[in-house]
């Protein structure tokens, strides 16, 4: 049976993880390769590496990191952050990334999704959607945000999710900026709405604080995968424990 995926997300700046602390068993918790390898060994189903460097030098450091990750780990990984062209994607895929995640650039130029899926195949094009529930002239609505969730657009989240699928996205990475960082749980209603409307997998992100939150997002939230960062990095939840917990609740998960 196809399993629900658990995905740790690693924020990388100048080639090093930003939140990687509290791992006594690692030589260097800031080493994004070593941290990823440890998650893979623990049973993470995929990894996401998000480049939060804004400089040109940082970009080439990131590509070098992607190459080292691909050489080292034997599970799929997605890379994202500042990707805006076919050339960017080509460089990252050739370095060994399995998928790329595009966000603001897709909102700015939706045709980019079509171009990338034609060039590289839908299976490796993830569209990340950052969303907030905000007041609009039509009342409260879920609205797509760009630039790390800081800048509102005028696009409704559900409509955008449907559009990116039509344009050839292979997967949606949905981050609720309202839930992100709260540890109060994923945005269940919105995730269920998007996952129900899309015929491509939806990765839920933002708000994970407990193992129950993952159970909730896979059941009530209808998510195909759950992504989190700090709760894994700070060892508040260990992936093997989480998988055992979910298996005990009869959810299909891959246990090593």
Partner 1 sequence: MKTVIIKYNAGNVQSVMYALDRIGASYIYTDDESEIRSADKVIFPGVGEASTTMAYLRKTGLDKIIPSLKQPVFGTCVGMQLMCRFSEENDTTCMGIFDVDVKRFPATPGFKVPHMGWNNISDYKGALTEGLADQTYMYFVHSYAAGICDYTVASCDYVLPFSAMLHKDNFYAAQFHCEISGNAGQRIIENFLKI
Determine if 98 is a binding residue for partner 1 (CB under 8 A): yes
Q: Which CB atom, from 38 or from 40, has the smaller least distance to partner 1?
A: 40
Decide if residue 123 touches partner 1 (CB under 8 A): yes
- Give the orientation angle of helix 86-95 with respect to helix 111-120, to 10 degrees: 40
Q: Judge contact between 71 and 96, C-beta under 8 A.
A: yes
Q: Residue 30: helix, strand or coil by DSSP?
A: coil
Helix 86-95 / helix 56-72 crossing angle, nearest 10 deg: 40
**Nearest 10 degrees: Cα torsion 168, 172, 173, 178:** 120
Closest to partner 1 by CB, 90 or 230: 90
Q: Of residues 130, 178, 180, 216, which has the active-site annotation?
A: 130
For partner 1, the closer CB: 146 or 191: 191
What gap in Å lies between CA 147 and CA 56, rounded to an integer? 18
| CA–CA separation, 8 and 65 (whole Å) | 17
User: What tokens does 106 get?
Assistant: 């897709």
64 belongs to the catalytic site: no
* Residue 87 engages partner 1 in binding (rule: CB under 8 A): no
Binding test (CB under 8 A) with partner 1, winner from 29, 35, 38, 40: 40
- When binding is defined by CB under 8 A, the residue of 55, 71, 109, 184 that contacts partner 1 is 71
Judged by CB under 8 A, the residue of 155, 198, 239, 242 near partner 1 is 198
Based on the residue annotation, tell me whether 130 is a catalytic residue of this protein. yes
Considering only 19, 52, 85, 96, the residue that binds partner 1 (CB under 8 A) is 96
Least separation, in Å, of the C-beta of 94 and partner 1? 6
For the record, the structure tokens of 146 come out as: 């760009």
- 3-state secondary structure string across 40-109: HHHCCCCEEEEECCCCHHHHHHHHHHHHHHHHHCCCCEEEECCCCCHHHHHHHHHHCCCEEEECHHHHHC
Given the residues 11, 31, 45, 224, select the one marked as catalytic. Answer: 11
Binding footprint of partner 1, residue count (CB under 8 A): 32
Choice between 170 and 185, CB closer to partner 1? 170
The answer to whether residue 11 forms part of the interface with partner 1 (CB under 8 A) is: no
The distance of closest approach from Cβ of residue 121 to partner 1 in the complex, given in angstroms and rounded to an integer, is: 6
Q: Which stretch binds partner 1 (CB under 8 A): 16-24, 67-75, 206-214, 241-249?
A: 67-75
CB burial of residue 233 (10 Å; 0-12, 13-18, 19+):
buried
**211 burial level (CB within 10 Å; 0-12, 13-18, 19+):** buried
The set of catalytic residues is: 11, 130
Given the rule CB under 8 A, which residues bind partner 1?
1-3, 5, 40, 45, 70-72, 74-76, 93-96, 98, 120-124, 170-171, 198-201, 224-225, 254, 256
């Amino acid at each position: 049976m196809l399993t629900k995926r658990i995905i740790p997300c690693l924020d990388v700046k100048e080639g090093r993880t930003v939140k990687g602390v509290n791992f006594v068993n690692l030589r260097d918790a800031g080493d994004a390769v070593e941290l990823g390898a440890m998650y893979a060994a623990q049973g993470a189903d995929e990894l996401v590496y998000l480049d939060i460097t804004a400089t040109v030098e940082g970009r080439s450091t990131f590509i070098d990191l992607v190459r080292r990750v691909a050489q080292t780990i034997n599970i799929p990984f997605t890379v994202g952050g500042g990707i805006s062209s076919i050339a960017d994607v080509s460089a990252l895929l050739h370095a060994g990334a399995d998928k790329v995640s595009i966000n603001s650039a897709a909102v700015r130029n939706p045709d980019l999704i079509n171009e990338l899926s034609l060039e590289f195949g839908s299976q490796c094009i993830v569209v990340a959607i950052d969303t907030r529930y905000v007041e609009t002239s039509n009342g409260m609505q879920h609205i797509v945000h760009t630039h790390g969730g800081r800048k509102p657009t005028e696009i409704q989240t559900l409509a955008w999710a449907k559009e990116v699928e039509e344009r050839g996205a292979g997967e949606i990475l949905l981050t609720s900026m309202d839930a992100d960082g709260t540890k109060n749980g994923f945005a269940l209603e919105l995730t269920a709405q998007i996952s129900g409307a899309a015929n491509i997998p939806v990765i839920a992100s933002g708000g994970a604080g407990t193992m129950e939150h993952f159970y909730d997002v896979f059941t009530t939230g209808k998510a195909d995968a759950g992504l989190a960062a700090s709760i894994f990095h700070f060892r508040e939840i260990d992936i093997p424990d989480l998988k055992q917990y979910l298996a005990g609740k009869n959810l299909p998960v891959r246990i090593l």
